[in-house]
């Protein structure tokens, strides 16, 4: 997974992400409702990794009223999207890869919304988060499961290495007690496949890499206009519902607490 390309795509989508990321906002709303059930406010020390443009961050600040809120994102440019948040004395920003950069320890909550699917090794990160939390700390996140954007994967053979809810639970269990776990499917409708591709580009979630195509891996090359036309034709044939085509999101929500030693 090329983190440089990922950062570039999300940076380019900064202006359009808030308008297009309706599913991510819906997921963030649900995460906040879940956190309110399990975590007391004010929450002393919170780390949010993969904060993006700050949709979830603003909800965290308003709902949990943390004494310290550290925002992290792979893209340094996201700092400018969070300028209103950074005016608050308890909020700070740290850019870099959450899998490798140093985070403060003794945190009360480490959380994220719609970011973990971009990690090389969520399993290693779970272990690391366990060491960063204090003895009564929480780890809460949403990510996406194996059916996420299944339409794109079925047509192109490309996509992220999504984990199932069961795989995530198994990786968490040595380090955390799982308090809540849920998955759901959210179907979006678009006028045509080109609108689907536009939506993905505007949110930075471009599943079609520069070398994705309908050819075997050893023959992959950049898409041609004919490839694009073929993609749209097949998408319409396979995924038309009524007068529109579908795109599937598969969010997974998990609230966990550090295991007692």
Q: Where are the domains of the chain?
A: 3-147+160-187+249-258, 189-245
Q: How confident is the model at residue 214 (pLDDT cuts 50, 70, 90)?
A: very low
Residue 219 has pLDDT above 70, yes or no: no
Residue-wise DSSP of 50-108? S-TTSHHHHHHHHHH--SEEEEEES-TTHHHHTHHHHTSTTEEEEES-TTTS---SSEE
- What global pTM score does this model have? 0.90
Residue 2 has pLDDT above 80, yes or no: no
Listed residue (112, 100, 125, 129) closest to 51, CA to CA: 112
For residue 44, the 8-state DSSP code is S
Tell me what pLDDT residue 201 has: 85
Higher pLDDT, 7 or 123: 123
User: pLDDT digits over 75-87, tens only?
Assistant: 999 999 999 999 9
Share of the chain above pLDDT 90, in %: 77
- CATH number for the domain formed by residue range(s) 3-147+160-187+249-258: 3.40.50.150
Q: What is the mean pLDDT of the chain?
A: 90
Residue 57 has pLDDT above 90, yes or no: yes
Tell me what pLDDT residue 5 has: 75
């Amino acid at each position: 997974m090329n983190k440089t390309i990922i950062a570039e795509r999300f940076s380019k989508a900064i202006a359009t992400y808030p308008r297009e990321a309706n599913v991510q906002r819906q997921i963030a709303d649900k995460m906040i409702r879940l956190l309110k059930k399990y975590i007391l406010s004010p929450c002393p020390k919170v780390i949010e990794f993969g904060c993006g443009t700050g949709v979830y961050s603003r909800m965290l600040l308003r709902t949990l009223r943390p004494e310290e809120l550290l925002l992290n994102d792979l893209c340094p440019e996201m700092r400018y999207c969070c300028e209103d948040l950074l005016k608050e004395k308890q909020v700070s920003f740290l850019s870099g890869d959450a899998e490798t950069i140093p985070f403060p320890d003794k945190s009360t909550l480490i959380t994220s919304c719609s970011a973990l699917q971009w990690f090389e090794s969520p399993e290693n990160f779970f272990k690391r988060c366990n060491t960063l939390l204090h003895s009564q700390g929480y780890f809460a996140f949403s990510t996406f499961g194996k059916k996420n954007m299944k339409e794109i994967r079925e047509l192109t053979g490309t996509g992220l290495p999504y984990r199932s809810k069961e795989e995530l639970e198994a990786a968490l269990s040595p380090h955390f007690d799982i308090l809540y776990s849920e998955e759901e499917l959210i179907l979006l409708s678009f006028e045509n496949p080109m609108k689907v591709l536009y939506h993905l580009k505007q949110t930075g979630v471009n599943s079609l890499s520069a070398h994705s195509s309908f050819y075997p891996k050893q023959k992959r090359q950049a898409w041609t206009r004919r490839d694009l036309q073929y993609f749209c034709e097949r998408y319409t044939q396979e995924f038309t519902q009524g007068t529109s085509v579908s795109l599937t999101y598969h969010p997974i929500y998990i609230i966990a607490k550090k295991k007692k030693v």
